[in-house]
Amino acid sequence: MARKRGNNEGTIVKRKDGRWVASITLGRDPVTGKPKRAWFYGKTRQDVAEKLTKALQDRKQGTFVAPHKVTLGEWLDTWLWEYKKPSLRPTTFDNYEMLVRRHLKPALGTIALRDVRPEHLQHFYNDKAEHGSSARTVRLCHILLHGALAQAEKNQLVVRNVSKLTEPPREEHKEMAILTMDQVATSLLPALKDDRLFAAIYLAFGTGLRRGELLGLRWQDIDFQQEVLHVRQALVRVKNHDAHGDARKTRLTFQAPKTARSRRTVPIPMECLTALKRYKAQQAAEKLLLGQAYADGDLVICQPDGKPIDPRNFLRYFGKVLQQAGLPQIRLHDARHTFATMMLELGASPKTVQTMLGHSRIAVTLDTYSHVSLELEKKEAAKLNAALTGRK
């Protein structure tokens, strides 16, 4: 007579249809309190007994994965919406959702989650790089896969996080396209002195604000007496995930700075402050002209009716501004790089520039502007050499 199985050794029974089934208890559901069980099926008792024995051994070794039919694509959706969305900023979530929908699911989504192997992911990285995807895009995909599989490992849906065994491509360093100090001072600003948004362009090059920070700036964030501005919010366009039918697919919204470093106080150059005062008077006249039709959101940089300026429209405006001044086309974000470069060339310490830009770590500043820092270091080395040799 077969020995009766003891506690935690699982159960084997024969079903009415003639098949055999075994089960083990994995614990209790934290929500319902009911036992959670894993089931194994086979045509003979020996089949399920072997499956049960292996499951018990795996559980003892900490490598047990409960049987499931979840695909990688299904798990990516679950991880993204249930685990990440509550903690991510809307813009970050939109970026993650796009990468999952456009890149990860089409290539890897049908693979069973428990069957995902390192070579699946490595082939995906290599194929993406070979067919034109940037190293940055591929690395972001790797970061998402790493996070999703790490959570799956915690949930005992996979034995291990196989993304740790892959080699994503290194992100290439791109040379920045910036304007020189002379181009800003003698070409750009003079050409725009009568433009309605002259103060906005001056702020971009004079403070290094990000696009969203610039368009989200309010008058209450500017201290004219102390000659500083406070970065407290940013204007962004995000996907409207609740949209149905003809509802707009995206919407403008304000969001808090990403990090504590991004929430910062930045000094305003005197001439830029003067331009802001003139613009504030002009805005007051626009407000008086429109009366109740003026949408007063206290925004500094806005449309003549007070409404926010769409970030994409501001990009187009910036391109026209450069064309009007006869300058090469650069990205609006390169105004931020231009500001940092000018500050460093004028002798500001990298630590000061880091604080003004809102970088989380000084290493980011030093790495981004290494070409400028190197020239400054050479000048300092020359000063040291002069001091040591008694030469001027």
Please name which of 367, 368, 376 lies closest in space to residue 344, comparing C-alpha atoms: 376
Percent of the chain with pLDDT over 70: 91
Q: Distance (Å, rounded) from C-alpha 214 to C-alpha 210? A: 6
pLDDT bucket at 69, cuts 50 / 70 / 90 = confident
Q: Distance (Å, rounded) from C-alpha 240 to C-alpha 249? A: 5
Compare 70 and 37 and report the one with higher pLDDT.
70
Dihedral (CA of 290, 292, 293, 295) sign: positive
- Whether residue 355 has pLDDT greater than 50: yes
pLDDT of residue 4: 47
Amino acid at 132: G
CB burial readout 236-256, b (16+ within 10 A) else e: bbbbeeeeeeeeeeeeebbbe
CB 27 within 8 A of CB 59: no
Q: Distance (Å, rounded) from C-alpha 192 to C-alpha 194? A: 5
Query: In the predicted model, what is the mean pLDDT of residues 327-348?
Result: 93
Q: Distance (Å, rounded) from C-alpha 155 to C-alpha 158? A: 8
Q: Distance (Å, rounded) from C-alpha 116 to C-alpha 162? A: 8
pLDDT of residue 156: 78
- Whether residue 167 has pLDDT greater than 50: yes
Torsion of CA 225, 352, 209, 86, to 10 degrees: -110
pLDDT of residue 2: 43
pTM of this prediction exceeds 0.85: no
Dihedral (CA of 341, 343, 346, 352) sign: negative
Mean residue pLDDT of the chain comes to 88
- CA dist 355 → 204, 229, 260, 340, 365 (Å): 16, 13, 11, 11, 9
Amino acid at 68: H
Compare 321 and 42 and report the one with higher pLDDT.
321
pLDDT of residue 107: 96
Side-by-side strand order, sheet with 265-267: 222-223, 228-230, 265-267
For 207-211, 244-248, 337-341, which range has the lowest pLDDT when averaged over its residues? 244-248
Please name which of 163, 172, 184, 140 lies closest in space to residue 335, comparing C-alpha atoms: 184
pLDDT of residue 7: 46
Reported as a single tens digit per residue, the pLDDT across 112-163 is 998 999 999 999 999 999 998 999 999 999 999 999 999 998 887 888 899 9
- CA dist 52 → 40, 56, 177 (Å): 7, 6, 63
pLDDT of residue 244: 60
pLDDT of residue 364: 86
Give the three-state DSSP class for 39.
strand
- With 0-12 CB in 10 A as exposed, 13-18 as middle and 19+ as buried, what is 215? buried
Reported as a single tens digit per residue, the pLDDT across 286-333 is 999 999 999 999 999 999 999 999 999 999 999 999 999 999 999 999
Locate all alpha helices (DSSP H) within the chain, ordered by sequence.
45-61, 72-78, 90-99, 105-108, 118-130, 135-154, 181-182, 189-191, 198-207, 211-215, 270-290, 311-324, 333-345, 350-357, 362-368, 370-389
Query: In the predicted model, what is the mean pLDDT of residues 256-270?
Result: 93
CA 30 to chain centre: 32
pLDDT bucket at 9, cuts 50 / 70 / 90 = low
pLDDT of residue 62: 64
Amino acid at 32: T
pLDDT of residue 386: 83
Compare 17 and 82 and report the one with higher pLDDT.
82
Please list the helix, strand and coil fractions of the chain in percent, rounded to the nearest 5, in that order: 55, 10, 35
Torsion of CA 39, 45, 50, 51, to 10 degrees: -20
